[in-house]
Chain A
Amino acid sequence: MFHIRNISVPPRPPQEDPAMTQRLDYAALSPDLLGKFREFSISLGKT
């Protein structure tokens, strides 16, 4: 803690873990839809 003109400035909080995480595991939640759409996407390179 240090002071500037009588204003207390708290120390910085510890830096948050910079590792990013995905919001939802859609692969686990919608495996059938994902599988079908992945098949479709793959087919775009095989037509």
Chain B
Amino acid sequence: MIEAKLRHLVDLRVSQINGCAFCVDMHTKQARIAGERELRLHHVAIWRDSPLFDARERAALEWAETLTTLPPHGVPDEIYDRVRQHLADRELSDLTFVVMAINAWNRVSVGFRSVPGSRDAQYGLTKAGLS
């Protein structure tokens, strides 16, 4: 199982890559509600050069980025092998479904231009205190 804190980081990073304003807004707020440090959220966009993420989080973010951008010739063994060092079979499998889901949501929200913050009340995001 991928814990909520890591899931939110992955959701945020994938949403940044896909340019999904609604999802970036939503997952920033969800992460804050889950207790994520504000500075780490600012660093998600530059996680490779940030000292704020541990090896497991970095592996998850690398896997999420790779599956989101999909290199022309698939996922290189080098990346897969590196990720496998930090994520167990079940974790990597679950994480892949997390990446799949957020990419799908991104496409709905980008396509229909969902308005950031427009569902805060419905999703209980107002308690993030960021609106």
Q: Which residues of A contact B (CB under 8 A)?
A: 20-24, 26, 37, 40-41, 44-45, 47
Main DSSP-derived SS at the A contact region: loop
The answer on a CB contact under 8 Å between A20 and B113 is yes
Give the distance in Å from the alpha carbon of A45 to the alpha carbon of B101 in the complex.
12
Which residues of the other chain, A, contact B97 by a CB distance below 8 angstroms? 44
Chain A residue with Cβ nearest B115: A20
User: Within the complex, what minimum Cβ distance (angstroms) separates B105 from chain A?
Assistant: 7
Quick one: which of A26, A44, A45, A47 contacts B108, CB cutoff 8 A? A26
* Complex Cα–Cα for A44 and B45 (A): 23
B46 contacts partner chain A, Cβ-Cβ < 8 Å: no
